[in-house]
Structure formats: C-alpha cells, structure tokens
C-alpha cells in the first residue's frame, strides 16, 4: 500500500513539473523591469556604422528582451518617418525567431511585444498648431508633447520621438534643440514634472533626437541636411542624448562610403545610380534583407519615397540599438 502511495505521489509531482515547464521558454516574459537611468557608454548616435544587421545581431538578447517588454514609444511623423515604422514592422518576419525577439505592436499594447504608439501626439497639439511632425510648425511639438504626457491615459509612455519631413531651412539651433532640452528638463530623468503628486507623472521619459533625410544634390550648406545633421549629432554627443541619424544612414552605402549628393532614396550621381537598390538586387531576400511592412503582419511596403527596402531595414536596426541603449546596454559589451 505504501509503495502505491509513493508511486502515485511521484506521478502527480511529475505531472506538475512537466506542466510548469511545458511552455516554450521564449514565450515567458522576463520578471526584469527597466528603470530609466542616465545612459552609460560613449556612443549615442545611431548612424550608418550602427545601422547594420551585424550590429543588431550582436546586441545581447537581454537588452532586446528588456526593451520589448518594458518600453512604450510615442512616435510622431509624416511620410519619411515611415522608414522606422515600416522597418520595425517587417523585421519581426525576417528570420527564424525574429517574430518573438522583435515582436512589435501598432497602437495596440500587448505583453512581451514592443509597444509603438504611432501618430498619436499630433492630436494633442495646441489649438491652431500643426504638430504632424517637426517641419510644419517648428515649436508645436513642445506643447503637443506636454499635453500628451500629461494625459493619464499615456502614463506608460517612456520613450518619445519626433521625426522631420524636410529639415532644410529650419531653425535647428533656435527651435528644435532648445525645445527638446525643455522637454528633457521637464519629463526626463529627474525632470521637474517627474514625481508623485498633483500634476506629476511617475514615469520619466527618454527623448530620442532625429536628423533629417537627404536631399539630392542639396545636402551641403547652411540650413541643409548635412549641416543640420551635424548640429544635432554634435549636440547629442556633447550632452549624451540618443539620436537616430537619418542623414548618415541615407548617405552611406553598405561599404560605408559617403555620397554627399545622395537623395532620400540612395540615388547618387557620384555613385552612378542607386547604391541601395544595386545592393538589394545582388542579395537574397530573407537572408540578406527583408521586406518592410505597412503595419505588423500586413502588406509589404517600401518606406515612403523609397524604391528599395534597405533604407527602412537599416533604420529599424538603428532603432533597436537605441532601444537596447535605453534598456541599460552600453552599446558595446557582449553581455
């Protein structure tokens, strides 16, 4: 009788053990939580040297997981800004395991998926302001961001990013950089609006800067894309702010050569054609590059103003590097 009881107990214990372990490991969310801190490391610009699949695949899984499970991104943009979103939406369908590792949602938060709130902040603009992106009304993003972050429905948001349409001719030094600094001082780590109490929000925010896209044969000179990009990246490096460097990614081919006359679609007279399209045509879909998507698990789509997938692929790689940095990675270490 005792032997039968022991056997029965062992069978029950075995069933419980197997049941608790039967779920695939990759579906279990980590118990770790990201607490936003001052950034470590010494690289803050996600430029052409970062926007590579080899860099993406070398980011420690820990930080990708932390980003996917903990970050809630508010991103406001118009057409050129789709290079980031379409790239992110397509990446999860690229290679085996990517559907879990780089899982992302669009305005539909779900556990263990990167939460991307797209196009939402424009609706919070002050009366009469156009906050579609950074280019329509140069200062509208400041109050629109405040109104958005002050709304209790957006308490989870901990990353904010605004994109340019065409950066040419805009007052980067007088409006964009000071405006971002105002928001960082208010809503960043240790900001005046972070804390407990009336009118405060508990969750601090990391603000991601962006440069503008390239313009064919019109990148160099005061107020033009290359010069504006340098103002922004120099400022971010000096102040240890993260920046997604559109211009650098647009203007450098896969061999890291710089083409200063390039368009927003990788066409360069100096190169003699479209260097991203040439590279794509010489590579294998699903092995060397992937198709961007208009939304998660949706139709295939190039980034706006593009005739190839590489531009948006690269900007998605750069974005995940930024998210890993926000999640505590120093940008270089193997673990």
For 52-95, the DSSP string reads SHHHHHTS-HHHHHHHHHH-EEEEE--GGGHHHHHHHHHHTTSS
Residue 318 domain-assigned (yes or no)? yes
Cα 223 from Cα 211, distance rounded (Å): 12
Please report, in tens digits, the pLDDT of each residue of the chain (335 residues total): 444 333 333 343 343 333 333 333 334 444 577 778 889 999 999 999 999 999 999 999 999 999 999 999 999 999 999 999 999 999 999 999 999 999 999 999 899 999 999 999 999 999 999 999 999 999 999 999 999 999 999 999 999 999 999 999 999 999 999 999 999 999 999 999 999 988 899 999 999 999 999 999 999 999 999 999 999 999 999 999 999 999 999 999 999 999 999 999 999 999 999 999 999 999 999 999 999 999 999 999 999 999 999 999 999 999 999 999 999 999 999 98
Residue 30 domain-assigned (yes or no)? no
Cα 79 from Cα 304, distance rounded (Å): 6
What is the model's pLDDT at position 35?
Answer: 74
Residue 266 domain-assigned (yes or no)? yes
The two tokens of residue 193 are 């609006």
Residue 197 domain-assigned (yes or no)? yes
Is 332 in a helix, a strand, or coil?
coil
Residue 150 domain-assigned (yes or no)? yes
The two tokens of residue 20 are 């608790």
Cα 232 from Cα 245, distance rounded (Å): 9
Residue 257 domain-assigned (yes or no)? yes
What is the model's pLDDT at position 135?
Answer: 96
Number of domains in the chain: 1
Residue 248 domain-assigned (yes or no)? yes
CATH classification of the domain holding 211: 3.40.50
Residue 225: CB partners within 8 Å, gap ≥ 6? Answer: 167, 168, 211, 212, 213, 214, 215, 218, 219, 247
Q: Could you tell me what percentage of the chain is helix, strand and coil, using 3-state DSSP and rounding each to the nearest 5?
A: 40, 10, 50
The residue range of the domain holding 47 is 42-326
Cα 105 from Cα 128, distance rounded (Å): 31
What is the model's pLDDT at position 66?
Answer: 98
Residue 174 domain-assigned (yes or no)? yes
pTM for the full predicted model: 0.90
Helix/strand/coil (H/E/C) assignment for every residue in 276-302? HHHHHHCCCECCCECCCECCCCCCECC
Is 8 in a helix, a strand, or coil?
helix
Cα 118 from Cα 294, distance rounded (Å): 12
Cα 3 from Cα 14, distance rounded (Å): 16
Is 232 in a helix, a strand, or coil?
helix
């Amino acid at each position: 009788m005792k032997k039968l009881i022991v056997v029965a107990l062992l069978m029950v214990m075995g069933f419980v053990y197997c049941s608790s372990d039967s779920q695939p490991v990759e579906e279990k969310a980590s118990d770790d939580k990201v607490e936003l801190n001052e950034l470590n490391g010494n690289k803050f610009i996600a430029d052409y040297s970062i926007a590579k699949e080899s860099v993406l695949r070398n980011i420690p899984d820990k930080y990708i997981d932390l980003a996917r499970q903990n970050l809630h991104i508010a991103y406001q943009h118009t057409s050129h800004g789709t290079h980031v979103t379409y790239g992110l939406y397509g990446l999860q369908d690229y290679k085996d395991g990517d559907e879990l590792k780089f899982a992302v949602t669009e305005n539909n938060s779900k556990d263990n998926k990167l939460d991307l709130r797209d196009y939402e902040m424009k609706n919070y603009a002050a009366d009469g302001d156009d906050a579609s992106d950074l280019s329509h009304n140069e200062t509208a993003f400041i109050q629109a961001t405040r109104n958005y972050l002050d709304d209790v429905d957006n308490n989870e948001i901990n990353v904010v990013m605004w994109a340019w349409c065409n950066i040419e001719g805009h007052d980067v030094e007088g409006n964009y950089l000071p405006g971002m600094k105002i928001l960082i001082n208010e809503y960043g780590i240790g900001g005046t609006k972070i804390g407990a109490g009336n009118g405060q929000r508990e969750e601090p925010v990391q603000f991601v800067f962006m440069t503008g896209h390239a313009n064919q044969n019109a990148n160099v000179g005061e107020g033009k894309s290359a010069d504006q990009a340098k103002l922004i990246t120099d400022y971010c490096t000096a102040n240890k702010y993260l920046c997604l460097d559109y211009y650098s990614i647009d203007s450098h081919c896969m061999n890291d050569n710089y083409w200063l006359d390039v368009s927003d679609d990788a066409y360069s007279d100096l190169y003699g054609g479209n260097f991203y399209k040439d590279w794509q045509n010489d590579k294998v879909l699903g092995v060397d590059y992937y198709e961007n998507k208009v939304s998660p698990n949706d139709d295939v789509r190039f980034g706006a103003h593009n005739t190839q997938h590489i531009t948006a692929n690269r900007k998605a790689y750069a974005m995940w590097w930024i998210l890993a940095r926000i999640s505590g990675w120093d940008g270089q270490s193997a673990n």
